[in-house]
Amino acid sequence: MALKQREVKAKRELKKRMLVDFNFGKVQDENPQTNSGRL
């Protein structure tokens, strides 16, 4: 049962990370000037 919980947690983390990457990529596309300084 513990394994199942860990799996769910890992999937949730992965989804969160993908969302962050996606949003970051969108922001970069919109204004590359401001983001190049932040990287």
pTM over 0.85: no
d(CA 34, CA 27): 10
Check residue 9 and give its pLDDT.
Answer: 95
Encode pLDDT of 1-39 as tens digits. 788 999 999 999 999 999 888 888 777 666 656 555 555
Angstrom CA distances, 27 to 4, 8, 13, 15, stand at 35, 29, 21, 18
Q: Tell me if 28 sits within 8 A of 35, measured CB to CB.
A: yes
Check residue 2 and give its pLDDT.
Answer: 82
Q: What share of the chain is helix, strand, coil (3-state, %, to 5)?
A: 90, 0, 10
Check residue 6 and give its pLDDT.
Answer: 94
Q: Look-up: residue for tokens 């999937």?
A: 11
